[in-house]
């Protein structure tokens, strides 16, 4: 908790204990992701005395609720020319984050943050700015660049807890999506230990569930996601947690369970600027398409496309997969395969090998007899990659026994949807 700067006290008077305690309580609520409590406590503290710390907590609580314009107005009350370097940093970071996500101005936010970096000189300040720049790079679809920045921050002796929290959470997700699983759990734990704001927990958690699923531990992935959901407060936290559970359910082949969660989650995230919002629509379109709800899937795909942009470019492969499954529901088999291939290409271009594997596995399910070459090219060392390669080769060869074996191994790890598709394809072999 950053103690209030006495320079912000009215007429130079020291803060009362009530103000200090109120801002501390608001910060604690913010760290837990309890945004409504954080807003209420921060407003109460500011009624008694003005402080930069209280104003920043209030702005972040508003921004994380998706109220970007309100947050920007709170931050606009501050004159940056009067701030010391530490205070400039604590003001600039939430403003840049608000611009990137809630105001949907990622280019402006990145330029503003780079400009701020040019005005700070201390090692901790530079590390913190770089940590947020890395998070921006990740969301903008450049996980390789994000990892470069995160690695520098995490290796720096100057990085404070905030910088470590941002960098470690982003690194956990980037590593998982890039197919580098060994350090995912350690990075997620490092992010948690840094005491970073609660919503970043979901970033690292998506990395963990991705790694667990591809290791064949779907039970572990679902437990992790459901534990987060059980502890999430209402609002964006609960919606993002539900999205994580739904993603695992899609891997399991339970589109009905996934859709039930995603319909509420997508609606809750729609008014916010989170990158999770477009992802929720993308996953919902996939789930509805797999249920055969063609018109509903098309509408959700349209919403995903309308909301997708630079700030959610990390999830461009998921958008292509939503198109693939929607095409399949419309009985457009060539369109479905082409969209799944585009998802794999988009993932590979961004260095997201694990996401490319998911796309290629879906391509096999949709009937792509050339997907095996792509899976082999990824050279991923995980349970699902091995199973997927055998499955793809069996489909290409028209190997009935191989397809039956693929169905059995996928059923054994809890991927019922893949198992059912492989069994259906085996039945079609004459």
pLDDT single digits (tens) 24-68: 888 888 877 788 898 998 888 877 667 788 888 898 888 878 788
Which two structure tokens, joined as six digits, stand for 384?
């699902």
Q: Where are the domains of the chain?
A: 316-430
Tell whether the model's pLDDT for residue 1 goes beyond 50: no
Q: What is the pLDDT of residues 126-179, one digit of tens each?
A: 999 999 999 999 999 999 999 999 999 999 999 999 999 999 999 999 999 999
Average pLDDT rounded to a whole number, residues 69-92: 88
Which two structure tokens, joined as six digits, stand for 194?
């840094």
Residues 6+ away with beta carbon under 8 Å from 266: 239, 277, 280, 281, 284, 300, 303
**Residue 5: predicted pLDDT:** 44
Is residue 394 within 8 Å of residue 403, measured between CB atoms? Answer: yes
**Residue 3: predicted pLDDT:** 37
Q: What is the DSSP letter of 352?
A: -
- Taking the C-alpha atoms of residue 281 and residue 336, their distance in angstroms, rounded to an integer, is 18
Q: Residue 239: name the closest of 259, 263, 260, 269 by CA.
A: 269
Q: What is the pLDDT of residues 330-344, one digit of tens each?
A: 999 999 999 999 999
**Could you tell me the pLDDT band of residue 420, with boundaries at 50, 70 and 90?**
very high
Average pLDDT rounded to a whole number, residues 371-393: 97
Which two structure tokens, joined as six digits, stand for 93?
């970071």
In this prediction, what percent of the chain has a pLDDT beyond 70? 94
Number of H helices, E strands in the chain: 23, 0
Give the DSSP per-residue string, 117-163. HTT--SHHHHHHHHHHHHHHHHHTT-HHHHHHHHHHHHH-TT--HHH
**Residue 288: predicted pLDDT:** 98
Q: What is the pLDDT of residues 3-18, one digit of tens each?
A: 334 333 433 445 566 6
Tell which wins on pLDDT, 5 or 240.
240
Q: What is the pTM of this model?
A: 0.89
């Amino acid at each position: 908790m950053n103690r209030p700067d006495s320079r912000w006290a009215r007429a130079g008077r020291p803060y009362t204990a009530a103000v200090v305690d109120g801002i501390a309580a608001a910060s604690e609520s913010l760290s837990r992701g309890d945004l409504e409590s954080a807003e209420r406590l921060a407003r109460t503290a500011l009624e008694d005395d003005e402080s930069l710390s209280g104003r920043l907590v209030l702005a972040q609580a508003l921004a994380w609720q998706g109220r970007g314009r309100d947050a920007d107005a709170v931050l606009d009350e501050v004159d940056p020319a009067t701030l010391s370097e530490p205070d400039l940093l604590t003001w600039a970071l939430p403003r840049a984050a608000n611009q990137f996500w809630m105001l949907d101005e990622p280019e402006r936010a990145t330029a503003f943050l780079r400009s701020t970096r040019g005005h700070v000189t201390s090692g901790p300040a530079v590390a913190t700015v770089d940590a947020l720049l890395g998070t921006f790079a990740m969301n903008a679809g450049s996980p390789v660049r994000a990892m470069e920045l995160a690695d520098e921050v995490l290796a720096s002796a100057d990085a404070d807890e905030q910088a470590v929290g941002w960098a470690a959470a982003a690194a956990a997700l980037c590593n998982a999506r890039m197919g580098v699983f060994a350090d995912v759990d350690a990075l997620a734990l490092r992010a948690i230990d840094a005491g970073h704001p609660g919503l970043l927990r979901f970033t690292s958690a998506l990395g963990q569930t991705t790694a667990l699923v591809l290791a064949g531990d779907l039970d572990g992935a679902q437990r992790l996601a459901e534990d987060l959901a059980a502890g999430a407060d209402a609002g964006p936290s609960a919606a993002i947690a539900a999205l994580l559970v739904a993603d695992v359910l899609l891997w399991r082949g339970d589109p009905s369970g996934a859709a039930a969660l995603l319909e509420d989650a997508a609606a809750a995230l729609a008014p916010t600027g989170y990158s999770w919002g477009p992802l929720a629509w993308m996953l919902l379109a996939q789930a509805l398409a797999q249920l055969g709800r063609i018109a509903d899937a098309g509408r959700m795909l349209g919403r995903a496309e309308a909301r997708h942009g630079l700030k959610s470019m990390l999830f461009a492969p998921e958008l292509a997969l939503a198109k693939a499954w929607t095409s399949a529901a419309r009985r457009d088999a060539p369109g479905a395969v082409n969209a799944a291939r585009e998802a794999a290409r988009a993932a590979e271009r961004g260095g997201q090998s694990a996401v490319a594997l998911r796309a290629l596995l879906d391509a096999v399910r949709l009937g792509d007899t050339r997907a095996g070459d792509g899976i082999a090219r990824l050279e991923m060392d995980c349970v699902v990659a091995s199973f997927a390669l055998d499955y793809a080769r069996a489909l290409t060869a028209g190997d009935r026994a191989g397809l039956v074996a693929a169905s059995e191994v996928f059923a054994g790890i809890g991927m019922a949807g893949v198992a059912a598709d492989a069994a259906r394809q085996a039945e079609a072999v004459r």
